[in-house]
Structure 1
Amino acid sequence: MLKYIVASAIVMLFGFVVGWFNQSNFWMAFVYVGVVLILAYMVDAIKTRKDIEYINSRIKNYNK
């Protein structure tokens, strides 16, 4: 949750500086950050699972 809040604050601050959105639709930063964080966690979970499978297969081959 803290990551989400910090990331949202950074996106909102940067978005206001470069003009991505105006004050009336600042809430879009929360949507953008939420979608990106969910996708990032999914990709990380998939990659971690593949890494674990690879390590387990290496251990099985080593023990033979």
Structure 2
Amino acid sequence: MTSIDRLIPFIEAMSMAGMRSTKAYQEVAAGRLAVVRNGRRTFVRASELRRYIDSLPEVRAKALVNA
């Protein structure tokens, strides 16, 4: 039996990733975050959201202090 990936509503996925809507739409347009449509609703697969978050660069403490 295959596992079915959970679909997360786009707005909820944005919140989970700590993104504002403009940044989220930019990531989709750039092909860095894949979405799926079901009728008029837009979703992000749970595995895709995990992949996207894992692909973000780690920030060291020194970089945060200089920001």
TM-score by length of 2: 0.30
Higher RCO (Cα < 8 Å, 6 or more apart): 2
Which structure dedicates a bigger proportion of its chain to helix? 1
Report the TM-score when normalising by structure 1. Answer: 0.31
- Higher-Rg member (1/2): 1
